[in-house]
Amino acid sequence: EGGDGHRVSQVSAYEGVGWDAAAERWTAHMQLGADSTFLGAYRDERVAAAAVDAECVLRGREPTNGSVADEQREAAAQRAAQRGVAVPSHGGVRYLDSKWRSLARQGGETVELGTFDSQAAASAAFDDHCLKLGRPRSSVAPRALSGKEAIKAALKVAMERKELSQEPAKTTRSGRKVKRNHRNKLWEAEVELGRNRALNGKAG
């Protein structure tokens, strides 16, 4: 029986997969040291095996069950849709402006994969992006800013916000007065600054 309460009554030929007779589902687990991480319950044994492989890829491990990338992405999507399955915590998901944002490193820049109403949805989008690339989360998540970079980002945000507040309104064809919105340019710096503060707080 795993720490999640699922009782395995039959062991599969696939690594990390077992049959839960009570739930009538194939369950997927990954052993991490002394702990077992529950990766979801599935009707199809092969999908459960792909869920284990997907987590291997996302953690930078070699998959052992022989599934292909499309199977891993489908299994990860099914896992994300299940209630009671822990949402992975990683640097690819941030909370800003009342939205969960899925972010990835592309070249030397941070790009947004989308905005979501829940952490689980943002995490699923990030994991799908990683699986599409066949790369672990750690190599795709945006890096943390150094102390000097965080200060520069904070100054940039403060200066542009000041410019926004002082900028005269423009008149549209309808006669409505509006101001330019700089937030799309600033969110990345704000997100990285917030993450850096959180990391510094943990370190302290």
9: confidence class by pLDDT, cuts 50, 70, 90: low
142 pLDDT more than 60: yes
Beta-ladder partners of 196: none
Match domain 10-81 to its CATH number in 3.30.70.141, 2.30.30.40, 3.30.730.10, 3.30.1490.110.
Answer: 3.30.730.10
* 143 vs 141: CA distance, rounded Å: 6
- pLDDT attached to residue 122: 92
- Three-state secondary-structure class, residue 119: helix
Please write the tens of the pLDDT for every residue from 45-80.
999 999 999 999 999 999 999 999 999 999 999 999
The region of weakest confidence among 12-16, 43-47, 155-159 is: 155-159
- pLDDT attached to residue 184: 46
40: confidence class by pLDDT, cuts 50, 70, 90: very high
Domain ranges of the chain: 10-81, 93-140, 147-203
197: confidence class by pLDDT, cuts 50, 70, 90: low
Contact 171, 177 (CB under 8 A): yes
**CA distances (Å), 31 to each of 17, 41, 83, in order?**
11, 16, 21
179: confidence class by pLDDT, cuts 50, 70, 90: very low
192: confidence class by pLDDT, cuts 50, 70, 90: low
204 pLDDT more than 90: no
Q: Is the pTM of this model over 0.85?
A: no
The enclosing H or E element of 54 equals helix 45-58
For residues 11-21, give the mean pLDDT: 92
* 133 vs 149: CA distance, rounded Å: 28
* 92 vs 113: CA distance, rounded Å: 10
32: confidence class by pLDDT, cuts 50, 70, 90: confident
> Closest Cα partner for 101 from 77, 126, 80?
126
